[in-house]
Chain A
């Protein structure tokens, strides 16, 4: 890794400058992560009196546990649903806004602010408008003959949390898509247009392929968002229910550890989540290197 050609001399000063960051990292990141690794290999008895070293048994149990496997598949559905929904809407909005000249900044302003809303608040907002007894959407759905009830129906509950999560993420995707669209050379589109390509044809054969680096980048970011930043949405709405149908992995770590007090299992789940984050981060960074060359 490079530095400047010329640097300051100094033996203790660089360490002093790094110290605050490094100390906080060691105490609140590295140490707890190490603890999670260590605890994932232990098992406490029912009274918390004795802990025994059990090797990888916690992991083996997890992958035999129907509830955990269910949580994995719920997470996949949730992450894919959120990513697809919010990216599709964002791309539609961005490519339409990109056509505009005078109204572009107005529409952009109107679309970016949901980024500021906390996931937990997004959860409360959508929970309220979908509330089976007083919400407005179930009332309208009732008129077309559908009885919405996310307290009983797992698929209704899943739809609700996906909507809330995707809603909040639209502004982020929108901004990146818009930036991607603006970097596409106008001359390409003009040439295609002179050759008689319709707007749809131009979109699919020129714009969409040129946007693919942005799209891949956003896919990774959205999956990370759906997996790790949506705790607030689940906690303020379904709390993993009904019947575990929205019990995503980050929520399960919390519920098993703090509510269920099953420390060994919760630690093992933490470790699995860390592995997932590391893999996703590596994908993201490898991809970004390619994006720069592109």
Chain B
């Protein structure tokens, strides 16, 4: 700040507090709604203060879900989301680390060709090629499975690029020293590259976990079996009912939003690093 103006500070705080309040508002309403008794939300006026039925709503949602909407218990759906998100994250990180290692530390034929092949995936979001991709997964008999949920989303140009950029900044001497000491490529990768990349891996982990957790269209299409329903699509099923039970829907929304929000809040530094570096 260049000069001190008390009224400007006051004004700035006011703007920020209003802004933060508006950003929090939808989630606050969800919290309030999730603590109301079943009929309370339908009386026409939405209460603005939390009710007293929070624990029972969350317990009901956690243990039994909404069977009329074909929506399994939230505990099950959260677990499915977690498995899918972890599979996508770990898968993306492993294949990207390996291919970046190959591209930076080896000279081989068609290196540029492979580099561009990976680059192209950046340009094909799943929403755009949704029907042919669905057909491929159906032909491979991967519908209604965790493999079908995660593997098609694993290829990632951004992670490969990020690791490539990072490997390029690692001093040449590392490799020279390793080779003088007789380390082979895999030993170099395991004992030198991986430990050096820990921060980058963690930052990308945060971003990709959120990406995986928030997948919506893909699970919606390829799973029909409630055993594989993820929480985000389970909520859509509950809202699609004739008369949605909003107090339970909102309890599920809060539970679905909590894991990724907590990840961001507790790993904010890594999150910001991951976000700014993947978009470079």
Contact B235 A124 (CB under 8 A): yes
Q: How many residues of B contact A (CB 8 A)?
A: 106
A236-B185 contact in complex given A28-B151, A31-B132, A274-B124, C-beta closer than 8 Å = no
Determine which of B127, B260, B275 lies in contact with A250 in the assembled complex, contact meaning CB atoms within 8 Å.
Answer: B127
CB distance from A61 to the nearest CB of B (A): 18
In the complex, which residues of chain B have a beta carbon less than 8 angstroms from the beta carbon of A2? 168
In the complex, which residues of chain B have a beta carbon less than 8 angstroms from the beta carbon of A159? none
B249 at the interface (CB under 8 A from A): yes
Contact B2 A21 (CB under 8 A): no
A241 at the interface (CB under 8 A from B): no
Contact A4 B214 (CB under 8 A): no
A121-B172 contact in complex given A17-B102, A257-B131, C-beta closer than 8 Å = no
Contact B216 A118 (CB under 8 A): yes
CB distance from B246 to the nearest CB of A (A): 6
Contact B118 A22 (CB under 8 A): yes
Contact A115 B124 (CB under 8 A): no
Question: A128 to B123, alpha carbons, bound, how many Å?
Answer: 34
Interface SS of chain A: helix
Contact B261 A113 (CB under 8 A): yes
In the complex, which residues of chain B have a beta carbon less than 8 angstroms from the beta carbon of A161? none
Contact with B along A242-260 (1 / 0, CB 8 A): 0000000010011001100
Determine which of B95, B105, B133, B213 lies in contact with A118 in the assembled complex, contact meaning CB atoms within 8 Å.
Answer: B213
Contact A99 B106 (CB under 8 A): no
Question: A96 to B12, alpha carbons, bound, how many Å?
Answer: 6
Smallest CB gap from B258: residue in A = A116
Contact B128 A273 (CB under 8 A): yes
Contact A189 B152 (CB under 8 A): no
Contact B239 A13 (CB under 8 A): no
Contact A1 B112 (CB under 8 A): yes
CB distance from B40 to the nearest CB of A (A): 10
Contacts beyond the supplied A1-B111, A15-B102, A25-B120: 15 A-B pairs with Cβ under 8 Å: A8-B185, A13-B102, A14-B111, A17-B101, A20-B99, A21-B95, A25-B117, A26-B117, A118-B216, A125-B29, A134-B46, A190-B2, A199-B8, A235-B217, A263-B131
Identify 29 residue pairs between A and B in the complex whose beta-carbon atoms are under 8 Å apart, listed by A's number. A3-B106, A13-B185, A20-B99, A22-B99, A28-B152, A29-B121, A32-B133, A35-B132, A112-B268, A112-B271, A113-B261, A115-B271, A115-B275, A116-B261, A116-B264, A118-B216, A121-B253, A124-B236, A124-B249, A129-B26, A171-B23, A199-B8, A231-B127, A231-B216, A231-B217, A253-B130, A267-B131, A273-B127, A277-B128
